[in-house]
Structure 1
């Protein structure tokens, strides 16, 4: 018997109890709609910290002066976009949402909405004397945001009845894979004292890794329409 099989079997038994108390659960659609709005606002706010060249300033020189803010914006925007994609994929596998999952989702949204602050801080200080502190702050914020996916999967592994039956067998693997994000960003924080720019580069490499679809915190499981 594999690690995943006991959880899938437990989910089958828990389905009967969940069906007996339908009011205790919420449809995932409402949670996703609210989450989409918060993520969209957070992604939009990122660009506000990038200053446009002044009217008396050469355009390319002004943009070059903002390269740190632009780099932080680009990495952060893609990270938020990936979080949205992984969030969508995860809840595509969720059959019902309980109170704990709602609270975990609020925690994730709080850290996502917080990201414009560390992004602006890193953009403003990447070329300054306090670049190390800014890079550590940025990396730790990213680790906190990505860590919620591990908490999601931990809860779903303990309550497989919340998942579609087809997704239950892969929940333990998804939980393991979800650790890559927080561990990677913590590694970026450790790199920051030696090289703040290298720390941002490591975050960018993580982004490229997830864009390639490898080790995604919430890989999609194909759910049959009748499942």
Structure 2
């Protein structure tokens, strides 16, 4: 990997980075490629956890009885899709990766690779009856860990504009931080609710899906400003 020159660390306002990276800086493109591959494998493994009915004589009934597997598959697939999208949001604004960022991203990928197992545990608990609360709490804890790692990665990269691109201004960084900070709190509330009422807790976690697919307004404004400046040219 090629090292990225430190001189590329200036912000759009002309301010230099206030904090130094940890070790040599490298092009983050391979980080994104590897992360995409791990996410793609995890999403693919989700469907392999759905076992076809053994009783083909009553096939339709058997397929309908698999609804917990369909539910776990659908929710986990969409949540993994959110992780993939927001991972790209982060790295669209990260110009380089140092040693600590690589470690943090590896920890995030470790959680992502674990999600097919978590999904299968949830499906099995709903199929067999007992253990719903424990399975949902386990599910929430793992997703909570992923959301916390997201925030840690972004805060590390954006602190003092340490690893961000020169076109990422403070308003954009704050808008992304604000969106990411919602996730751990939302998932923690949903997980706590699962202890009291499993179905209500699952609905609360699932409601997280449409919210996180919404665009980040501050980021959009920044992109529009950058494009307008490029179209108008230098003053």
TM-score (norm 2): 0.81
Question: 1:130: Cα distance to partner?
Answer: 1.1
Q: Which residue of 1 aligns with 2:149?
A: 148
Q: Which residue, out of 212, 215, 233, partners 1:213?
A: 215
Q: Which residue of 2 aligns with 1:3?
A: none
State how far apart, in whole Å, the 2-side matches of 1:174 and 1:12 are.
Answer: 20
Question: 1:11: Cα distance to partner?
Answer: 7.9
Which entry has the higher C-alpha Rg, 1 or 2? 2
Within-5 A mapping of 1:7-156 = 12-14=15-17, 24-127=24-127, 128-156=129-157
- Is the alpha carbon distance of 1:86 and 1:146 closer, same or farther for their aligned partners in structure 2, counting shifts above 3 Å? same
TM-score (norm 1): 0.83
State how far apart, in whole Å, the 2-side matches of 1:92 and 1:78 are.
Answer: 21
- Is the alpha carbon distance of 1:188 and 1:54 closer, same or farther for their aligned partners in structure 2, counting shifts above 3 Å? same
Within-5 A mapping of 1:156-175 = 156-169=157-170, 170-175=172-177
Unaligned runs of 5+ in 2: 1-9, 231-235
Structure 2 SS opposite 1:126: helix
State how far apart, in whole Å, the 2-side matches of 1:219 and 1:147 are.
Answer: 24
Aligned residues: 215
Question: 1:39: Cα distance to partner?
Answer: 0.6
- Is the alpha carbon distance of 1:133 and 1:24 closer, same or farther for their aligned partners in structure 2, counting shifts above 3 Å? same
Unaligned runs of 5+ in 1: 1-6
State how far apart, in whole Å, the 1-side matches of 2:41 and 2:13 are.
Answer: 39
Runs ≥4 residues deviating over 4 A = 7-11, 218-221
State how far apart, in whole Å, the 2-side matches of 1:195 and 1:14 are.
Answer: 47
State how far apart, in whole Å, the 1-side matches of 2:220 and 2:143 are.
Answer: 19
Does the CA contact (< 8 Å) of 2:175 and 2:217 recur in 1? no
State how far apart, in whole Å, the 2-side matches of 1:85 and 1:54 are.
Answer: 37
Structure 1 SS opposite 2:158: helix
- Is the alpha carbon distance of 1:38 and 1:14 closer, same or farther for their aligned partners in structure 2, counting shifts above 3 Å? same
Q: Which residue of 2 aligns with 1:192?
A: 194
